[in-house]
Structure formats: C-alpha cells, structure tokens
Amino acid sequence: MRIFHVTAEQFTELTQLPDRLPTNGYLWIGSARREFEVGVAPLQNALQRWTGGQLVDLHVSDLLNNQLPSTFDYTSWYDVMVFRRLAAGIGSAGLFADDNRGTVASARQALASIDTSPVGFAVFDKVLITVHPTDCQVRDFFANRLRQIGQGVEARTTGARLPSSPADLMLRMVNHMVDSYLELRRLLTKQLGYLQQELFRPRSHFSDWQMLLDSRNALHLLEDVCEDQRSAVTEWIDALDEWPDEPDPAARRERELLRVRSRDVLEHIERVLGHVRRLEGSAEGAVQMHFSAQSNRTAEIMRTLTVLTAVFMPLNLITGFFGMNFDFLPLVHSNAGVWITSVLMLGLALGLVIYFRRKRYLDRGG
C-alpha cells in the first residue's frame, strides 16, 4: 500500500497513514487488491478519523471482486467507481514483431493475453483510494509521472499540472486505462489481419476455426466491457451534475473542468467501442467472403468438370459404337478405318473445345 500527499505544488509519498488529513491538498492511497484486503481494517479506522465515515461493506466487496464489471455507485460522503481496464498481457506485444503473418500458436497466445481486470476507485472529498490488480502498472505510472510534475520536470516541457482533487486524479487514471487500448488495438488488428490472410490464401486449407471463434468471442467480450465502461462513466457524469453548486468561482471552475474531463473520457470510450465493432464487422465479413470464395472456387471446378464431360461424351459414344460385335459396320474392315475415326474424334474434340472457349466456359472466372 502506497500513500501519497498531493497538493497544487507538491507530490510526496508518506511512509504510513497520517493521524489526520492535511490542511492542503488530499491523500491518494493506492494498493494492490491483496494488500487492500489485508489492510482494510486500519484503513477503515483512518477513514473514520478523517471523514467521519467508512467504506460500506458492500463497496469493500466490490473493490475486492476481480470479476465485477465496470460500475458506479455513490453515497452522501463518497463515490465508488469500478473500471475494467483493456490491456495486452505481459509479453504479448512482441508476438507478431518478427513475423508479419504470425503463427497459430502466437495468435492463440495473443487472445489469451488480453487483460480486462477491474481497477476500483473510492472518491472522497479529500481522499482517493485505488485498488489495482497485482500486475497493474497504472499506480506506479501515475506515481512516477506526478512526482515528475511535482518536481517541475513535465511542467517546464508540457505545462502539465498536478490533479486538483481526488476526482480529477481518478478521471486521469480512467482516461489512461482507456487510451492503453491503443496497444491492444494494434495487437488485435495484426492478429485479425493474419487470420484474413489465412482465410484468403488461394491454396490454403484453413481448418483452425476454433481460433477464429476465440477471436470473435474476444471481440464480443471487449464490446461488453466497453458498454459497461460507458454506462459507468455516464452514471458518474449524471451524479456529477447533481452535486450542489459551489459559491466559490474557483470551485465552480474546477467542477466545470471535471465535467470536461469526464466528457473526454466518455468520448474516448465511444471511440474504442466503435473500433471494436469495426473489428467485429471485419471478422464477420472475412468469414463471409471466405465462404463466398470457396463457393466460387467450387463452381469453377464443377464448370470445368462439366465441360470435360461434354467434350468426352461424344468420343465415348463413337468408341462405344465401333466396339459393338457386328460383322458389318462402316470402316471396320477397312485399313484406313482407324485413322479416319481418330481424325473424326480429334476434330470433334477440338471443335467442342473451341466452341466452349468462345462461350467462355473455359476462362477463369468466366
């Protein structure tokens, strides 16, 4: 569990929970899910001292639940946001780095590496509690970034400033988790590109339909996650609009900035959702085009076989006629009979081939 004191000018890390809230700024308490479960009792006691209220036991269960979808809830003294992240698993970024086509094994590994673990937020007026998965890099990333901003490193180059409130910091983290989908998007796009190449390769006998089904299921999962994210952020925006008006102009300006940042997060989620749906449509279209190409290839084969049958059918008729056991047949007792018959059969075959060629029955795709 890491404890940070955030003000407008400084970002410092504390070694333990303070006895009282600082007069300036707010506290950010970030911990892994297991650490939060172990240390929830002293944290609840500290919240009671600081804010006069504790986390409701149901919300504690939500923050500890690794399977909970993105959701939002509120009380009169704090808000709770559970937001499922969209991220590529550890080591999945280089699965297709060396081979543009990839392999079936790497594609399966990419599917299995997609991580949608939830991150929990409890937003008080002066305290932000975040609960992360064990391997989540969001806490450390923001700790390092805010430390640089507090030291003036990023402020001189980008003009960045420290978050002014726990809600502001929460929205920045949520926005970062949504934007991390860009890495996952490149992975999924390359994976689906590999599948499409396999489906449309002319001499390929694509048989790994289980991997294609896994891809579609993964896209459906991402769509459901994005839908839950959008619902949670929309509920947060609705609750933000119901906050009491602030008489202080600076507080009203901060409230408006929170609304702007919340709408920006919602817009990013909408973009991610739109891209996931486009990938779904691309996967569905690839399957349909594959079966259309297979049907067209089968039709070409059947047309070729039909033309060959039509060419050889008269020749079979001629050989069958002269193969009958009769003494009196034309050309049977003639020395030139075999040559005359051969020339007749060859001419008939060439004539039929020329006729079918003019009708474009033998042209590829005709």
**DSSP per position, 329-358:** -TTSS-TTHHHHHHHHHHHHHHHHHHHHHH
The pLDDT score that the predictor gives to residue 240 is 86
State the Cα–Cα distance between residues 181 and 128, nearest whole angstrom.
24
Q: Cα–Cα distances in Å, from 256 out to 167, 192, 237, 241, 267?
A: 12, 41, 11, 10, 17
Q: Which CATH number fits domain 2-294: 3.40.50.10420, 3.40.50.970, 3.30.460.20, 3.20.20.150?
A: 3.30.460.20
The pLDDT score that the predictor gives to residue 86 is 78
Question: What beta strand segments (E) does 65-168 contain?
Answer: 71-74, 79-84, 87-88, 114-115, 118-123, 127-132
Domain boundaries, the chain: 2-294, 305-358
Total residues belonging to the chain = 366
The pLDDT score that the predictor gives to residue 282 is 78
Q: Is the dihedral of CA 186, 187, 192, 194 positive or negative?
A: positive
The pLDDT score that the predictor gives to residue 102 is 47
State the Cα–Cα distance between residues 3 and 26, nearest whole angstrom.
11
The pLDDT score that the predictor gives to residue 64 is 92
CATH 1.20.58.340: does it fit domain 305-358?
A: yes
Low-confidence ranges of the chain (pLDDT < 70): 88-113, 153-159, 183, 202-208, 326, 332-333, 362-366
- Supply 320's token pair: 């069958």
315 C-beta neighbours (distance < 10 Å), count:
15
Q: What are the b/e assignments for 2-21, b being 16+ CB within 10 Å?
A: bbbbbeeeebeeeeebeeeb
- Note whether 2-294 and 305-358 share their fold: no
State the Cα–Cα distance between residues 9 and 161, nearest whole angstrom.
8
The pLDDT score that the predictor gives to residue 174 is 92
